[in-house]
């Protein structure tokens, strides 16, 4: 509504002459005058039009002005409409009060003074106009506020959508980077492993080729065989490291005297580190025995020593020290409170910068180039310590050297340090008939040769079902079965045999992760690759008779053999050293 918009003024009177006189008086206001001769007519107008001011005669025949006013006021639309009463009779104060009660806002006495009536009506008309104007402005303001709010909400939603989009894009990009890093690591690892295995196969095949052509004498033949065995052992060591990294290596913790174990390695360390590196051993007196897999600990120390050697190409000093450590809960990372022995391997090598130090223990992280380092050495050490209930800690300074500390838990009291006595070469139980079950003819061929070498009679079966058939047909003294076979697994076969032939010993020959711990039902196990001595010792222990030594005859090389490092006797020999390093680039 504009500023000068006409408003409606309702004039109510039952006398047309009076209505006319009001009209004349008010005409000059320029507003729109609406006339009603009765209350009924007045109500009709009110319902049809927007009325700004109502002028009511108090005395009308059908209904008096007060009652009309009360009716008007009752309607929600007219609760604030200005009502002016015109009264011909002199109004008492009481009448006035009644009028106000019914909703009058003002009175005009009779005789009506035109100026007074106009002034009053103008004021209310103006008030109405201003109120409407204000309402209009208010509504406009609200509309604009709502519009702005909506715009803001939309902008906000858009912003959120973009942030989300960006976050998603970033996540996708990060995932891609991760995937690429993983692939790169895998590529490096595969490249390195392929390279390593190629070299090993080269050595094995080369030696075998020469052997097949006929060696000039026995010593030459022995050298060729030895070379092939060493290469195969190195392959076995490589897979061992990968398994240790994958934490799929089954640990065989024993109570170990650290000083004795390290002293036992000293010669081998000297040989593998060379004359330019001085080796110091430093053990605190009265060290308690620890609980750890001794073979894995030796392997870890060797890995650390070889890392040190690589860090000291011009020579230097390697110190292996051991001290007792009482650890309080929460003091050392997540290490449980208790007694530990801390083994520290320190070198005076090139040290590591911050980035290398941070990543050193990451699997596959190596600074040594494809084919030179697998990057699994330190992760194997970390894996062993963690799996043994201890931890590994590295400190290093560029140009000064590196210290790697292994915290290993002290063995429960009273358990005397022990290592099984070293077994000396091939030994065999008296001739027995052995049923060998393996679905891989190559592996089976190797084991058959070893069993025959030990003087046993071998019957072969390529599946569990075939083995059961053979057992029905003929008696055997022992069954050796592979575990991972199609159809019936080794454990299932052993279970069937236990039921049908109680008391018949069954050996489970497994790779690494075929079986979770405890899944083997306590069957005697032969871990692949295994060597002759281990096979002989296990058979002897199961068949229960004293092994009789036999003359050693050459063995076919197809059989996978246990690397020397983990043979039951433990300890390292000169041949072990090259196993851990590639010899040619
Ligand atoms: N004593 C050390 N001095 C300096 N740097 C070291 C030392 N030990 C480890 N590193 C660094 O940490 C990296 C990872 O070591 P790790 O033993 O895991 O793998 P690697 O030695 O490279 O390979 P691998 O052990 O398979 O031969 C090394 O490449 C080297 O950069
Ligand atoms: Mg290493």
Tell me the ligand closest to 345's alpha carbon.
1
Per DSSP, the residues of 338-370 read EEEEEEEEEE-S----HHHHHHTTSTT--SS-T
Whether residue 221 is contained in a domain is answered as no
Tell me the ligand closest to 373's alpha carbon.
1
Residue to probe by mutation, ligand 1, list 234, 310, 370, most atoms within 8 Å of CB: 310
Distance 271 CA to ligand 1 centre (A): 20
| Residue ID of nearest Cα to ligand 1 atom 11 | 360
Tell me the ligand closest to 400's alpha carbon.
1
50-54, 210-214, 457-461: segment of lowest average pLDDT: 210-214
| Residue ID of nearest Cα to ligand 1 atom 1 | 308
Whether residue 399 is contained in a domain is answered as yes
Q: 112 or 97, which is more confident?
A: 112
Question: Rounded mean pLDDT of 139-165?
Answer: 94
Instruction: Kindly tell me if the per-residue pLDDT of 583 is higher than 60.
Output: no
Q: Which of 469, 558, 494 is nearest to 208 (CA)?
A: 558
Question: Rounded mean pLDDT of 94-104?
Answer: 72
Whether residue 511 is contained in a domain is answered as yes
Ligand 1, residue 372: give the atom nearest the CA: 27
476 and 386 in a common domain: no
Distances (CA, A) of 329 to 325, 332, 334, 339, 371: 12, 7, 8, 11, 42
Distance 526 CA to ligand 2 centre (A): 28
**CATH number of the CATH domain containing 269:** 3.30.565.10
Instruction: Kindly tell me if the per-residue pLDDT of 579 is higher than 60.
Output: no
271-280, 300-309, 469-478, 556-565: segment of lowest average pLDDT: 556-565
Whether residue 235 is contained in a domain is answered as no
* Whole-number pLDDT of residue 563: 35
475 and 522 in a common domain: yes
477 and 379 in a common domain: no
Distance CA 24, CA 41 (A): 20
28-42, 122-136, 551-565: segment of lowest average pLDDT: 551-565
Q: 314 or 65, which is more confident?
A: 314
**CATH number of the CATH domain containing 78:** 3.40.50.2300
In terms of pTM, does the model score above 0.75?
no
Per DSSP, the residues of 470-533 read HHHHS--SEEEEESS-SSS-HHHHHHHHHHHSTT--EEEEE-STTS-TTTTTT--EEESS--HH
Arithmetic mean of pLDDT over the chain? 81
Instruction: Kindly tell me if the per-residue pLDDT of 9 is higher than 90.
Output: yes
Binned at pLDDT 50, 70 and 90, residue 391 comes out as very high
Instruction: Kindly tell me if the per-residue pLDDT of 382 is higher than 70.
Output: yes
Distance 210 CA to ligand 1 centre (A): 36
| Residue ID of nearest Cα to ligand 1 atom 20 | 375
| Residue ID of nearest Cα to ligand 1 atom 27 | 373
Where is the domain boundary, 112, 140, 159?
A: 112
- The set of protein residues with a Cβ atom below 6 angstroms from ligand 1 is 303, 307-308, 311, 347, 349-352, 356, 360, 365-368, 373-379, 402
Question: Rounded mean pLDDT of 499-517?
Answer: 79
Instruction: Kindly tell me if the per-residue pLDDT of 577 is higher than 70.
Output: no
Distance 304 CA to ligand 1 centre (A): 8
Ligand 1, residue 367: give the atom nearest the CA: 29
Distance 307 CA to ligand 1 centre (A): 5
382 and 268 in a common domain: yes
Tell me the ligand closest to 242's alpha carbon.
1
399 and 283 in a common domain: yes
Distance 517 CA to ligand 2 centre (A): 28
- Residues facing residue 51 across a β-bridge: 8
Ligand 1, residue 404: give the atom nearest the CA: 1
Where is the domain boundary, 77, 96, 112?
A: 112
* Whole-number pLDDT of residue 582: 32
Residue 122, Cβ neighbours under 10 Å: how many?
17
439 and 300 in a common domain: no
* Whole-number pLDDT of residue 343: 97
Question: Rounded mean pLDDT of 548-576?
Answer: 35
Distance 378 CA to ligand 2 centre (A): 6
405 and 302 in a common domain: yes
Question: Rounded mean pLDDT of 359-384?
Answer: 83
Name the percent of the chain lying above pLDDT 70: 82
Where residue 509 falls (left for φ over 0; alpha for ψ -120 to 50; beta otherwise) is beta
Per DSSP, the residues of 163-215 read HHHHHHHHHHHHHHHHHHHHHHHHHHHHHHHHHHHHHHHHHHHHHHHHHHH--
442 and 396 in a common domain: no
Binned at pLDDT 50, 70 and 90, residue 304 comes out as very high
Ligand 1, residue 380: give the atom nearest the CA: 18
Tell me the ligand closest to 365's alpha carbon.
1
Instruction: Kindly tell me if the per-residue pLDDT of 377 is higher than 70.
Output: yes
Instruction: Kindly tell me if the per-residue pLDDT of 423 is higher than 50.
Output: no
Crossing angle of helices 441-453 and 532-543, rounded to 10°: 70
Q: 68 or 10, which is more confident?
A: 10
pLDDT digits (tens, 9 = 90+) for 335-354: 889 999 999 999 999 999 99
Residue to probe by mutation, ligand 1, list 378, 392, 396, 399, most atoms within 8 Å of CB: 378
SS3 call for 579:
helix
* Whole-number pLDDT of residue 247: 55
| Residue ID of nearest Cα to ligand 1 atom 22 | 366
Distance 563 CA to ligand 2 centre (A): 19
439 and 385 in a common domain: no
- Inter-residue contact 206 to 551 (CB < 8 Å): no
Q: 517 or 167, which is more confident?
A: 167
pLDDT digits (tens, 9 = 90+) for 275-298: 899 999 999 988 999 999 988 898
12-21, 51-60, 517-526: segment of lowest average pLDDT: 517-526
Distance 145 CA to ligand 2 centre (A): 70
- Inter-residue contact 230 to 206 (CB < 8 Å): no
Whether residue 386 is contained in a domain is answered as yes
276 and 397 in a common domain: yes
Pairing assessment for the beta strands 316-327 and 338-347 based on DSSP bridges: antiparallel
301-305, 440-444, 483-487: segment of lowest average pLDDT: 440-444
Tell me the ligand closest to 193's alpha carbon.
1
* Whole-number pLDDT of residue 515: 64
What contacts 566, CB < 8 A, 6 or more positions away?
Answer: 240, 295
Q: Which of 581, 580, 538, 251 is nearest to 423 (CA)?
A: 538
Cis, bond preceding 111 (omega within 30 deg of 0): yes
Q: 169 or 5, which is more confident?
A: 169
- Inter-residue contact 302 to 580 (CB < 8 Å): yes
Instruction: Kindly tell me if the per-residue pLDDT of 421 is higher than 90.
Output: no
| Residue ID of nearest Cα to ligand 1 atom 25 | 377
389 and 444 in a common domain: no
Question: Rounded mean pLDDT of 136-146?
Answer: 94
Pairing assessment for the beta strands 82-87 and 51-57 based on DSSP bridges: parallel
Q: 304 or 229, which is more confident?
A: 304
pLDDT digits (tens, 9 = 90+) for 176-219: 877 777 677 667 667 777 777 877 888 888 888 888 888 788 88
Ligand 1, residue 361: give the atom nearest the CA: 18
Residue 521, Cβ neighbours under 10 Å: how many?
12
Distance 189 CA to ligand 1 centre (A): 15
* Whole-number pLDDT of residue 88: 64
Whether residue 557 is contained in a domain is answered as yes
- Inter-residue contact 343 to 322 (CB < 8 Å): yes
Which span out of 93-107, 440-454, 462-476 was modeled with the highest average pLDDT?
462-476
Residue 251 DSSP symbol: P
CB-based neighbours (< 5 A) of ligand 2, an ion: 307, 377
* Whole-number pLDDT of residue 94: 67
Question: Rounded mean pLDDT of 163-181?
Answer: 85
**3-state DSSP helix/strand/coil % of the chain, to nearest 5:** 50, 20, 35
Structural domain of residue 311, as residue ranges? 254-409
Q: Which of 285, 293, 517, 283 is nearest to 411 (CA)?
A: 293
Distance 80 CA to ligand 2 centre (A): 94
Distance CA 522, CA 453 (A): 28
Residue to probe by mutation, ligand 1, list 192, 312, 360, 403, most atoms within 8 Å of CB: 360
Whether residue 132 is contained in a domain is answered as no
| Residue ID of nearest Cα to ligand 1 atom 9 | 307
22-31, 195-204, 573-582: segment of lowest average pLDDT: 573-582
Instruction: Kindly tell me if the per-residue pLDDT of 567 is higher than 90.
Output: no
501 and 367 in a common domain: no
* Whole-number pLDDT of residue 427: 41
Number of domains present in the structure of the chain: 3
Whether residue 31 is contained in a domain is answered as yes
Ligand 1, residue 379: give the atom nearest the CA: 18
Ligand 1, residue 345: give the atom nearest the CA: 1
Residue 38 DSSP symbol: S
Tell me the ligand closest to 581's alpha carbon.
1
């Amino acid at each position: 509504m504009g500023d000068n918009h006409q408003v409606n003024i309702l004039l109510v009177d039952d006398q047309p002459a009076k209505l006319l006189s009001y009209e004349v008086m008010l005409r000059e206001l320029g507003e729109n005058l609406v006339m009603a001769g009765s209350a009924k007519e007045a109500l009709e107008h009110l319902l049809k039009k927007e009325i700004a001011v109502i002028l009511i005669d108090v005395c009308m025949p059908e209904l008096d002005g007060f009652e009309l006013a009360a009716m008007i006021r009752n309607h929600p639309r007219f609760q604030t409409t200005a009502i002016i009463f015109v009264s011909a009779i002199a109004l008492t104060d009481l009448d006035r009060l009644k009028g106000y009660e019914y909703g009058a806002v003002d009175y005009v006495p009779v005789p009506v003074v035109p100026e007074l009536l106009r002034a009053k009506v103008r004021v209310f008309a103006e008030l109405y106009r201003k109120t409407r104007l204000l309402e209009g402005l208010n509504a406009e303001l609200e509309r604009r506020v709502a519009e702005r709010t909506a715009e803001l909400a939309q902008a906000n939603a858009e912003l959120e959508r973009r942030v989300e989009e960006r976050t998603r894009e970033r996540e996708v990009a990060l995932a891609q980077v991760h995937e690429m890093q993983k692939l790169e690591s895998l590529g490096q690892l595969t490249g390195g492993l392929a390279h390593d295995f190629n070299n090993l196969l080269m050595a094995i095949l080369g030696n075998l080729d020469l052997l097949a052509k006929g060696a000039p004498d026995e010593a030459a033949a022995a050298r060729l065989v030895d070379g092939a065995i060493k290469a195969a052992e190195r392959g076995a060591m490589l897979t061992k490291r990968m398994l240790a990294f994958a934490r799929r290596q089954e640990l065989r913790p024993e109570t170990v005297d650290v000083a004795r174990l390290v002293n036992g390695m000293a010669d081998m360390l000297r040989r593998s580190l060379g004359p330019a590196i001085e080796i110091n051993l430093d053990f605190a007196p009265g060290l308690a025995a620890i609980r750890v897999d001794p073979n894995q600990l030796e392997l870890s120390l060797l890995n650390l020593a070889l890392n040190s050697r690589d860090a000291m190409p011009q020579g230097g000093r390697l110190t292996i020290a051991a001290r007792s450590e009482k650890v309080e809960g929460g003091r050392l990372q997540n290490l449980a409170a208790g007694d530990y022995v801390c083994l520290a391997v320190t070198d005076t090598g090139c040290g590591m910068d911050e980035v290398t130090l941070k990543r050193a223990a990451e699997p596959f992280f190596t600074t040594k180039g494809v084919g030179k380092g697998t990057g699994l050495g330190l992760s194997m050490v970390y894996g062993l310590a963690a799996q043994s209930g201890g931890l590994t800690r590295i400190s290093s300074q560029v140009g000064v050297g590196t210290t790697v500390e292994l915290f290993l838990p002290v063995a429960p009291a009273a358990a005397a340090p022990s290592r099984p006595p070293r077994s000396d070469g091939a030994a065999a139980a008296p001739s027995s008939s052995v049923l060998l079950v393996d679905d891989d003819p190559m592996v089976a061929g190797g084991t058959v040769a070893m069993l025959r070498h030990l003087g046993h009679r071998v019957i072969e079966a390529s599946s569990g079902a075939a083995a059961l058939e053979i057992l029905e047909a003929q008696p055997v003294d022992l069954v050796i079965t592979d575990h991972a076979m199609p159809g019936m697994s080794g454990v299932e076969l052993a279970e069937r045999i236990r039921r049908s032939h109680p008391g018949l010993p069954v050996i489970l020959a497994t790779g690494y992760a075929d079986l979770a711990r405890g899944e083997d039902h306590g069957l005697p196990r032969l871990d692949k690759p295994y060597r002759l001595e281990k096979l002989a010792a296990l058979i002897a222990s199961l068949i229960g008779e004293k092994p009789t030594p036999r003359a050693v005859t050459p063995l076919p090389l197809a059989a996978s053999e246990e690397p020397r490092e983990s043979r039951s006797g433990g300890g390292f020999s000169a041949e072990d050293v090259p196993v851990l390093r590639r010899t040619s680039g």
